[in-house]
Amino acid sequence: MPLIPPLWRATRLGRRLIMAALLLPALASSQPAGDKTLLDMRTAFGRNQGSELTRLLPAVRGHVLEPLARYWEMRARLDTASPAEIRATLDAMAGTYWEDRLRNDWLLQLGRQRDWARFEAERPLFRMNDDRQITCYTVMLDAAGSRLPPEVAAERVRELWLVQRDSDDGCTTAAKALLASGHLKDAVVWQRARLMMEVNRGRAASEAVALIDPARAAQIEAIADQPAKYLDDKLTAIRSRTKELVTLALLRLAAQDANAAATELDSLKWRTQLSAEERGWAWGAIGRRAAQRLQDDALTYYARGDVQHMTDEHLAWMARAGLRTGRWDAVRDAIYAMSPAQRNETAWVYWRARAIEALKEPDATVARAQSRALLESIASPGSFHGMLALESLGLPITAPAAPEPLTADERRAAAQDAGLRRALAAMRLGLRSEGVREWNYQVALHTSGGMGDRELLAAAEIACREQIWDRCINTSLRTRDAVDQTQRFPTPYREQVIARAQEIGLDPAYVYGLIRQESRFVTDARSHVGASGLMQVMPATARWTANKIGLSNWRPQQITERDTNIQIGTAYLKFALDDFEGSMPLAAAAYNAGPSRARQWRNGPVLPGEIWAENIPFEETRDYVQRVLANTTQYAALLTGQPQSLRARLGQVGPRAPTAAAVNTDLP
């Protein structure tokens, strides 16, 4: 059967012709004469050449991207411009992303300068409301001005401060003010220091403690560097004043060597001096590190502490360790100890349902009913765990029905949207980063709650037509009730992808699922580590693969060519799939984190693929594998029109069978 029904092809062609006609006004309004000046301004902005920006600005008056040029010019001299000049520039860009971006920058500056009168005057006009520092400043001022109960303010600042990986002025200033007023407690400072120490942010931990105890703060970075030395230096009974630092040292040691930290914590000198809360947190950190290293004894560490004193991250890894060892009671206990917000995440609702059913408490009938209710609450083809819930309920995974077609008025409104037109103009000019930010603002932040479903579908259709596939996908994903799978899971470069996949024996849905996750079909995508193109291939991987498949006259710059990138990426994926005996989750993990890690992670018990994937130690790779397999299942449903199974693709994962021959052992 054809992969795309003829009627759908005709409908799509009709949509493309309609959109081309609707966008003619937008294309005609562009002013190429000012394009070069804009690109020159972009260069000047990157070099912080404020006077050059001011000189060039008049030449882009009336250009569709004039607001961007105004932003560059004022941002470069924000420190020296008068408030009247800044407000005049804001007024000249009224209603645009760049107005709100400049206001964001100015509010941060006003906060750092402690110009609270101007800050409070400007703050209500800030539409995006997505800057943590500005939120912290605002909460502090609202508490000081009796517009917010100080206890509520303290809790909000605590939440924002604890999730920061690095310090910033906004939340540090707010925390300092609420500590001084007594509404934020010293215990929160030590909580932040612990969280930072667990992720090796010794300086951030030190900066937090300095707010209440500069003397002890001075020791923290040294403790972070050599936790074992600090603990060894305290051979005599510790005094109360040092126990917080001992806890920090134990947390840092746990990140380096969980077993050594357990030995230290279990020793009498610390066991008798640390509080139950401090010991519980430390055992949670040790258990987490053991679980991340896939140690079979991880749960024994958790058992030594009280789960009520463990963080959500500790408890997530306790649940994963329970899954890996078949201890459903540990899975249950960990999930019930989580904060309500984490416990209600789709993943943990799914595993809570599975734990209830496995434990059959209080009896099989009640457990089955409770489990089913939880699964029904999350069952959806829109997420990895939602798909698993569908299959647990005995329901197939199918492509949702298409929404009602867009009307001419809906298409016209999207084509005439000023923010979307500016975003398109920027991306056509090669200002992709600026265009993407303007696009995201227009669909999500320009108005409270963002665009409605029909507006989002129309905006996504423009992005699809323009082959801006990442905006097509991400915009369509924002819809709540109207789901268009052809937007969410597009199939660009169809002829090349399907022909190549079939040529080397790959499932086209698997290739599409991986490309969608890697690059969102952006052909010139480049990661911070140097991976390039549609399939995000690393230079060394490309060189090895080109040699392996006999690609003659290979040149590194070829990896950015679309067809070559597909050829190299699919070949490497097939090599990985063969090396891992056809296991899609293992091959995806190898593609993301490298084959040596995937080989290491498969050692241990034979597990259902969904449990193995949940235990991948790297958060990025865990999310990647789950998304690639979910994408693959969605693409298969869309391409074939038939019900699909995610579990069948996940399969079972375990050590290589003794009889299985190793292939591609030099796979990089």
**For residue 437, is it within any domain?**
no
Secondary structure of residue 537 in the 3-state scheme: strand
Six token digits for residue 39 = 């690109």
First-last CA distance in the chain: 38
Six token digits for residue 326 = 């078949």
Give the pLDDT score at 14: 44
Task: Give the amino acid at 287.
Answer: G
> 3-state secondary structure string, 587-643?
HHHHHHHCHHHHHHHHCCCCEEHHHHHHCCCCHHHHHHHHHHHHHHHHHHHHHHCCC
**For residue 509, is it within any domain?**
yes
End residue of a domain, out of 130, 156, 177: 130
Distance CA(255)–CA(260), nearest Å, equals 10
Label residues 47-85 b or e (16+ Cβ within 10 Å = b). Answer: eeebebbeebbebbeebbbbbbbbbbbbbbebeebeeee
Catalytic residue, chosen from 122, 244, 434, 518, is 518
End residue of a domain, out of 104, 130, 156: 130
Is the bond into 362 cis (omega within 30 degrees of 0)? yes
Query: How many C-beta atoms surround the C-beta of residue 12 within 10 A?
Result: 14
Q: Please give the residue range of the domain that contains residue 642.
A: 494-653
User: Exposed, middle or buried: residue 105 (CB in 10 Å: 0-12, 13-18, 19+)?
Assistant: middle
Tokens 């034979």 correspond to what residue?
606
Residue 548 CA neighbour count, 13 Å, CB half: 22
**For residue 515, is it within any domain?**
yes
Give the pLDDT score at 23: 42
Closest to 54 (Cα-Cα) out of 39, 75, 31, 33:
75
**For residue 105, is it within any domain?**
yes
Entry pTM: 0.92
Give me the residues paired with residue 397 across strands.
Answer: 644
Give the pLDDT score at 273: 83
* 518 annotated active-site: yes
Query: How many C-beta atoms surround the C-beta of residue 114 within 10 A?
Result: 9
What is the count of structural domains for the chain? 2
**For residue 112, is it within any domain?**
yes
**For residue 447, is it within any domain?**
no
Non-local (6+) Cβ contacts of 94 within 8 A are none
End residue of a domain, out of 68, 102, 130: 130
Distance CA(178)–CA(206), nearest Å, equals 19
Sites in the chain below the pLDDT cut of 70: 1-32, 234-241
**For residue 48, is it within any domain?**
yes
**For residue 450, is it within any domain?**
no
Secondary structure of residue 317 in the 3-state scheme: helix
